[in-house]
Structure 1
Amino acid sequence: MANQTNNLAHTKWLCKYHIVFTPKYRRKVIYNQYRVDIGKILKTLCQYRGVELIEGHLMPDHVHMLVSIPPKISVASFMGYLKGKSALEIFDKHASLKYKYGNRHFWAEGYYVTTVGLNEATIRKYIKEQNKHDIALDKLSVKEYADPFRN
């Protein structure tokens, strides 16, 4: 579906967005069983709203999504729905998380969004290779601390 337009009653549209959002306090909580469950929840919620999830990747401390949102739904209302409903479902499946994240707020406030336009292949590649990039940055940012008790 690279540049294929979609149809509504009186509209032809091609609205794709790259969205990034994080868990509260940017905790590295998205791994193992949480990762699988969060992925399923996000896919299901996208389907409920008629949003096509083109590409997605769950990092330990953030989520990348490439989505196609119909023009009748604003990005802000979709993100409010996605983050709100997914937080409720995450806490229902993993009740132990409520001790880390009080008041059932799993996601941090806000998100990053950009329109994709015709460079969809570039965004897909970026999302797929984000994990490799983060690992490389972690290796470069190894800090050596001086002994504070040495003169």
Structure 2
Amino acid sequence: MTAQVRTSPGAAYDLGYHVVWCPKYRRPVLGGRVEIRLEELIRAKADEHDWEIVALEVMPDHVHLFVKPHPKNSPSQVADRFKGFTSHHLRAEFPHLRWQLPTLWSRSYLVATVGAVCARTVQRYVETQYERAAKGSGRA
């Protein structure tokens, strides 16, 4: 995958988050029509915020999402927006979800940053700034 830098006033960015969340008690309730509707809702929320969905997989007991948001949105905001929006709509449209669970989603989630460059490469780049600056200016 190649880096696709996006721009906005005052920023150039290429952020990616891997977000994973589960139904309360990790119940396998995300199948059939619920799965289809959940995917539609996730895509609608991403479109609303102009976030790019790179990959989405709904499993019966958890959701994996690779999303590229704007840098003004923190990882916790991204997870909360998806979870809150989808819970509200799914529980309204599928009453059995209200009967089976006190809340649709567990309070916890995982968010991991995803990038085109590994952490070790960035660390090495930052730590060698003075060395590269000295070589570029002709000083040793």
Same fold? TM cut 0.5: yes
Summarize the alignment of residues 113-132 of structure 1 with structure 2, pairs less than 5 Å apart. Answer: 113-118=111-116
| Structure 1 residue 2 displacement after superposition | 2.9
Q: Percent identity?
A: 26
Secondary structure (helix, strand or coil) at the match of 2:105 reads coil
Rounded to whole Å, the distance in 2 between the matches of 1:36 and 1:119 is 33
Rounded to whole Å, the distance in 1 between the matches of 2:83 and 2:71 is 19
Aligned position for 2:72 = 72
Aligned position for 2:31 = 31
Summarize the alignment of residues 1-151 of structure 1 with structure 2, pairs less than 5 Å apart. Answer: 2-102=2-102, 105-118=103-116
Aligned position for 1:140 = none
Rounded to whole Å, the distance in 2 between the matches of 1:65 and 1:10 is 27
Instruction: Please identify runs of 4+ aligned residues in structure 1 that moved more than 6 A.
Output: none
Rounded to whole Å, the distance in 2 between the matches of 1:48 and 1:66 is 16
AA partner of residue 66 (structure 1): F
Q: Which moved more, 1:24-33 or 1:77-86?
A: 77-86
Rounded to whole Å, the distance in 1 between the matches of 2:93 and 2:33 is 11
| Structure 1 residue 58 displacement after superposition | 0.6
Count how many residue pairs are aligned between Structure 1 and Structure 2.
118
Cα separation, partners in 2 of 1:94 and 1:119, compared to 1, 3 Å: farther
AA partner of residue 59 (structure 2): M
Secondary structure (helix, strand or coil) at the match of 1:110 reads strand
AA partner of residue 65 (structure 1): L
Root-mean-square deviation over aligned CA pairs: 1.6
Q: Which runs of 5+ in 1 are unaligned?
A: 121-151
Aligned position for 1:125 = none
Rounded to whole Å, the distance in 1 between the matches of 2:107 and 2:2 is 31
Aligned position for 1:130 = none
| Structure 1 residue 119 displacement after superposition | 6.5
AA partner of residue 41 (structure 2): I
AA partner of residue 112 (structure 1): L
Rounded to whole Å, the distance in 2 between the matches of 1:23 and 1:47 is 23
| Structure 1 residue 81 displacement after superposition | 1.6
Q: Which runs of 5+ in 2 are unaligned?
A: 119-140
Aligned position for 1:143 = none
Which structure has more strand as a fraction of its residues? 2
TM-score in terms of structure 2 length: 0.79
